[in-house]
A and B are shown apart, each in its own frame.
Chain A
Amino acid sequence: MVDAEALTAWVREFARLVHEQRDELTRLDSAIGDADHGANLDRGMTAAVAALDAQSAAGPAAVLKTTATTLIKTVGGASGPLYGTFFLRAAGALDGVPDPTDPAALARAVRAGLDGVVARGKAERGDKTMLDALGPACDALDEALAAGKPLDEALGAAAQAAADGRDATEPLVARKGRASYLGERSAGHVDPGAASATLLVQAAATALAGRG
C-alpha cells in the first residue's frame, strides 16, 4: 500500500541520496552548467523533509503537494520549478482518486509528474535533460505493472531504466538549459538533471520496497 507514510519515506530517501551525492551532482553541473545543482537540490530536499516533519498527518496527495511547494520556494534554480512541477502534478493526480494507495495510482501520478516536466521544460527525450532518465523509468514502471509484475519488481525495472537513460546522456549534445550554450562541448559529460532524476527513481525503489 503506497500510503502517505510510504510517500514520505520516498521523499526522505530521495533527500538522503541527494545529500549523499551532492558533490557529485555539482561536479557534473560544473562541467556543463553553473555548478549549483547539488547545492540547490540538497537545500530544497532538506527543506522538504523539514516541512513534512512539521506537517501533521495528511493524505498521500498532501505529502507530494508539500514537497512540491517547498521545492518551488527553496531551490532557486531551474530544478525548483521542474521538480516542483513534477510533485505538484503527481499530487494532483492522486487527489480525489478512490484508492490513492494503489500501485496503479502511483504509476499514474508519476506519469502526470513526467508530463508536467515536459510541459514546463519544453524538452524532448534526447535533449540531455532529466527527461532522459525519468521518461524511460515511467515507461518501465507502466510496462511492468501492465504485465502483472509486483510493485517491487516494477520499481526495480524503473530504477534500472533511469540509470541506463542517465548513462546514455553522456555522448549527447545538450539542447536545453544552460548546457545548451556549450553546444558540442556539452558532449562527453553525464547530464546532472538525469543523474538527480535517477536518484529520485532509485529512492522510490528503495523506500517503496515491500509496499506493493
Chain B
Amino acid sequence: MAPKAAAAKEKLIDDEEEVLQAVILADSFDKRFRPLTTHTPRCLLPICNAPLLDWTFESLALAGVQEIFVVCRSHAEKVKQAISESKWSRPGSGIKIVPIMTAKETFSAGDAMRDVYTRGLVTTDFVLVMGDLVSNIRIDEVVRVHKERRKTNKDAIMTMVVKESGENHRTRTTGDQSVFVLDAATSECLHYEHVSGYPATKTTRIPREVLEAHPEIEIRNDLIDCSIDVCSVEVPSLFQDNFDYEDLRRDFLHGVLTSDLLMKNIYCYVAQEGYAARVKDTKSYDSIRLVPLLATPLVSEHISSKDILSRWTFPLVPDDNHPGGHVYRHSRGNKYVAAEVSLARTAKIGNNTLIGAGTRILENAQVTGSVIGRNCVIGAGSVIDGAYIFDGTVVGAGCTVRRSIIGAGVMIKDKTNVERGCIVGNGVAVGPSGAVMPFERLSKRREISAPRSDEEEDSDIDDIEANQPGDSISVLGGQTNAVIWPQGPSEDDDEDAVVEYKVQRLRRIADTGSDLDYSDDDDSAPMTDDESDDSQDELSGDGSFDGSEDDSDDEAPPIIPGTSNMMEEAEFQSEVKQSLQRAFKEGHSVDNAAVELKTLRMASNVPLERVREAVIAAVVEAIPIVPVAATQRKEISAVVGRWGPLVNNIGGVDAVQTLEALQMHCVTSDRFPLFGQILAEFYQTDIVEFEDMRKWHGSAAAKGEGLSEGPTTENVKRSWVVAGQLMQQIEKLENESESEDDGDGESGSGEESDSEEEDSNAKTQPPSAVSGTNTVEESSAESDSEEADTGSEEEDSEEEMKTVSPANPAVVTKPEAVTKPEASTDHDKVKGKAVTKPESSDSEETSEAGEDDSTSEEDSEEDDSEAEEETKINPPAPPAKPESSANKDKPESTVSPTPAKAESSGGTKINPPAPPAKPESSAKPEITAESSGSEEETTSEEEDSDDESSEIQNKPPTASVAANPESSAVQGKVETNPETPKAKPEAQAESSENEDTSEEEDDSEEESSEEETTNNKPASAVGGSADGSKIGSTPPVQTKPESGVKAGPKVESSEEETSEEDSDSDSEESE
C-alpha cells in the first residue's frame, strides 16, 4: 500500500541521517535564584507558566534535535520525574529524552562535561545548551554549517551561537557580557574576554598573535552569548584531559584559544535572525518572562518573560506553541489570558500580561506587565506590577506587588506591600499589613522534623534561620512563616563574596545598580574579578600592569603577592634555567625551546613576564666571559644571535619589558660589564628596536629611580648611562644617514627604512657604547664613507665589492676585517657592522641611484610614495639590499645566489631578517627607482604612476592610519604585521628568482644590464603581486577603525614593532 511504502521509505531515510543529539546542562551551578531553587531545580522554575526546561526542549525540538541528554545534579529526581511526566515522553513527540544524574560532586559545567565523556553519551556532533534556554534560532542550520566546516577543517571543534544585539539591550545582563574577537571572513573566534559588571571592565586586551595572523578582525561587544554550542565529540574529551576546566567560556573557550598545543579552532555563528536568551538570573527571567526563582531571579525572569510575551520567541509564544500545552488567547497589547480565567468586570489587565487558567482576578485589581500562574487569586484592589507569580498563590485585598518573583502557594495577606526585586519562596505567608523591603528574599521556615537530604544547603538554611533579625521579621506581618535571607554578604565573607554580591546585584531584577560605587573598590579588590585573565594581560604586555599582578584565579588576596607565589616562581625560574641549559647544550632549535618554555609556563601558570626574565637571564648567563675584548664580542654575538630570538618567541613580544629585564638581570650579574655590548647586540639582532630603547630609556625604572640605594642601584644607573651613550650614537648615525637619504626626511620611528639605517648605525655604535672608546671616530669614518657613496656610484660599487664578501658563507667573520680598516678604532667587535655598512650604503645607493636619475623629475612624488609604502608595508629598502648585493657578488661567488643571500641574512645578523619578509613589497619602490634609471623614462613613469595610483586607491581607506607615519607607528604596526607573514614566502621566492636570473646575466653582462634584468623581473612580478599584496594589506587597516567602533569597551592592542617579525625570520634563518 502506498502509505506503508512511504513510511518505510521515511524510515530508511531516517536511518541514514545521523541523529542529532543535544546535551542539556540542567544545573546552573550557582544559586542566583535562591530561595526559589532550594526545593526546585532552576530548570523547573516556570517561565510564562511552563517549566524552563520545557522551553529548552521546545527550542531544541524546533531545531530538529532527536535525542536529548539532560545532565542534572541538584534535585535530579525532580527533574527526572518532570521529564517522565511531561508530554515529551509520550510517543510521537519525536524526541528521546534521557535524564542523566551526575554525582553530587559535580560542581561546574566542566565536571558535567567530564561526566558526559565518561558515560560515552555522545557519538557525534552534538548541541550543548544550558537548561534555561529560550530560543527560536535555527540550530539545525548552525549544525549544518558546523558539519560543513568540519569536512574541511577537523580542528574546528566547536561553533558557538551568538546573537547580535544593541549595546544596551535588556536581554544582556550587565556584568555578563563578553567581548568576542572574530575573524571577519571566517567567524573564527580568535579571542574571548569576559566583561564583568563589577568591578566594571573598561578595557580589553587582544593578544598580538591574533592581529598578526588575521588580516581582518572584528572586535565585538554587541553579541549576546546564547550558550548554544555545537560541539564535536572531541569537546568532552578535552574537558577530560584538562581537569581544571570549569566554566565553558572562561576556562574551556579561553583555554582552547590560548593553548599553543591544542591547535583547535572555535567558531562563532552570528545569528542574524532568531532569538535566544538564557534565564541566567532574575533580570533575564523578567525579559523572557520565564521566571528563574532564585537569588537574583527577577531580572532574568523579567527579561525572558518580556521577550516571550512580546513574541520575540515566535513561534514559541503562549498562544501558539506554549510548551506547557496551555491555551491562551492573545489579545491586543500582548495580553494572554487563559480561557478559564474569571476576571472581575472592574479589574484592569495591562499590557504584556499572562494569566493562567483557573485564576481569579477580583474587583478593581490591576495587573500589568506580569505573569500570573494557574489557580491564583488576586484580591480586590490589589496592584500587581511587573511581578511573576507562580501557581496557586493568593494575594489578598489591597496588596501591592512590584517587580518581584513570588513562588508557588504563597499567601500574601491583605494590605501587604512587596517591593521591587523581592523573591518570595514557595509556601511563604506574609502579612497581613506587612511590608517586604526591596530585594528581600524570603523562604518558608522549615518544620523542624522535616528530614533533609541536602546537607550542604541544609547548613546554609540553618545558618539563616539561626540568624534571623527579630525586628525585621515583625515587619513582615503577624502571621508570617518566613525567614529572611541575608541581604549582603555577612561579615566573615571574604572579599570575593562582596564583589560577587555586587556583581549579582547587577543581575537582579529591578536593580539598576545605580547606587553601586564602581570606583571605591578599585584598589581594595583590583584583581578579585576572576574573569580578568592574567595571561591575557601578559600576552598583551603593554607594560601597564603593576607588580602585584598575580594569579587572580587563586584566592590569594591581591595586595600580597603571597609567599606561595614566590616559591612557585622560584621553582619555575629554576626549571626554566634547566630547560634552557639543556637546550643550549644540546643545540635545540629556537622553536623547540620556545615550545618547551610555553609548556612550562602553562604548567606552572606563571605570567609571561617571568618567562621573559628567565629567558633573558639564561641567555646572558650563557655568554662565556672572555678576557679579550674582540673574542668577547664574538661570543656575545654568537650567543645572542643564536638564542636572542627566543626572547620574542615565548608567546608575546614586549621589547620594553625585555630591556627592563635585561637591565635588571645584568646589574645583578657578574656580566654587568657586558651590558652595553649585549644591549647593542640585542638591538642589532632586532630583538629590540630603537624606539623601544628610547621608551625604556625614558622610563623611571631604567634610571633606577625608586630603588633603594645600594650597589644594584649604582649599577642600574651606570647601565642607564651606558645605554644612553649607545642610543645617542645610534641616533646620530641615523640622522646622518637620513640626511643622506636625500629628502626622505621623515623621522619615522619604527619604520623599516629607518631601522635599516639604524641597523647600519647600530653596527658602528655598539663598540663605542660598550667600551666607551671613541666610536665617534668610527662612526664619522663610516658616515664619511657613506657620504662618499652617495657622491659617486663607482665608489659604491667598490664598496659593494666589499659587501660581497659578507654574502659569502664561508667568510662570515671576515667581512669585518674588510671593513674594519674603515671602522678604525673599534675593530671587529661586531662582525655584522662592517658587513652591513656596505649593504646599507648599498641600499641607500640603489635607492639613491634610482632617485638620482628619476627623482630629478619626480622627487617629491617618489618620496611620498616611499613614505607611504614605508608606513604600510614595512620595508621598501631592505629588499634592495639582498638583490643588489647578490648581483654584485656574483662576479665572485656566482655559485649559489640564494644560499649566499640566506647567509648574508643569517650569518651576519644584520637586517637580513627583514629582506625575506619584504622583498616583494619593497621590490616596488626599488623597481620604480631602478627601472627609471636604466630603462626609458616612460616605462618607469608608468610604473611609478601605477604604484602611485594603486597607492592612491588604497589611500582613502588607509588614510587616517597610514598617512601619518607617526600615528601609524602608534596604531599602525598592527596593520602591517598581519600582512607581511603572508607576503614572505612569495617574496622570498621572487627575490631568489630575481637573483637567479640576474646572476646568469651577471656572468656575461655588466652591472647596468643586471640592474635592468632585476628591475624588469620584479617589475612584472611586482605589478601583480606587490600591488596585490598592497591591496590585500589595506583591508586590515580599514577594519580596525570599524572594529574599534563596534567594540564597546576600549580596545588596547599592544603594539609591536615590526622588528619582531624580523627577529622571527631571523630565528628561522639562523638555524
- Tell whether A and B belong to one assembly: no
Listed in ascending order, the chain B residues whose CB lies under 8 Å from chain A are: none
